[in-house]
Chain A
């Protein structure tokens, strides 16, 4: 029995006169279908949407985060549970009372909006450790920015690629303990779009970055500037893996 006929039966029970007079009319069937759609589907959708909104509003209120600068950033890294896992996606609306959103907030929003384009392993990690995942992704942006001070291009398999991996791994080790940093890095590489050679390059440079920060932390001389200097030294001495070599600006090819 079609959706329209079920609807018609209900109609028959409640309005027998009208039903007997107009039961065979295609026109009334279509009208009933529209009514069924409006009275069943739309309220159900609205109920689901509003109940999700309520859950997220409660989640946001409990955090006691004030709207204003850094509201979105703080909201985005709030701990979530099974029922509130997708609430960070609504941080922009939850913080909407803030008229001027700072640039750093937009970066967080972009990362949240680009969340679907992560590897399966990254998504799994993020579902268990949303706060660490968010911090990790923000650090990947930071690594890109740091490396853009060395290279006017951000490409694949070249020195800029090696730099991103080395620096990201390095600053992640500073931010997290070694196992967490390794987990985030491994999750990022857990996709087989790359060739074995490319993946080996990324993993080797990640490892070099982790070790470099480990040594700098031990000697208590860590800073991002020094980490970048270590990268340049290691690159020049051939201790990093690069598939496609390009010279540093100012270097002779």
Chain B
């Protein structure tokens, strides 16, 4: 009986886990927090400076944004646009808030962007630093 109960609990947890994570799998390559720190530096996150800043300013704040992602989780893509600024990158469709942090001038290096991953309601579930181009 105990074994059956444990098996059922395991089954439910696995199913829920699969359903939750299936929706937030990222297409393409992403950087870990340590890689972001190494690649773009570590400036404290200032929402006003981020909204007004260019790619370089945003890139330096990317790691702090990832560390403070909790403040954005659950916010709508409209709220992100209104507080963080108009989207500048591209990920799947215009619904995802995206911000370029490095635009490559040629194919010798990759372009990178910050992507706010959203759910069906347009609410932010995660934030990643995503390889914008190129996949080939």
Contacts and interface: CB of A to CB of B under 8 A. Distances in A.
A154 B88 contact: no
Interface string A118-158: 11000000000000000000000000010010011111110
Interface string A224-246: 00000000000000000000000
Contacts of B87: 156, 193
Given A154-B132, A193-B94, A110 B106 contact: no
Interface in B9-39: 11-12, 15, 22-23, 25, 27
Interface residues of B, number: 39
Nearest to A92: B22
A117 B118 contact: yes
Interface of B: 5, 8, 11-12, 15, 22-23, 25, 27, 77-78, 81, 86-90, 92-96, 98, 100, 103-107, 111, 118-120, 122, 132-136
A23 B88 CA distance: 65
B111 A188 contact: no
Interface in A27-52: 38, 42, 45-46, 49
Contacts, number: 90
Interface of A: 38, 42, 45-46, 49, 89, 110, 113-114, 116-119, 145, 148, 151-157, 160-161, 164, 188, 191, 193-195, 249
Contacts of B132: 153-155
Contacts of A154: 89-90, 111, 132-133
A116 B23 contact: yes
A119 B120 CA distance: 9
Given A152-B133, A191-B95, A42 B90 contact: no
Nearest to B8: A42
A249 B103 CA distance: 12
Nearest to A137: B92
Contacts of B107: 152, 249
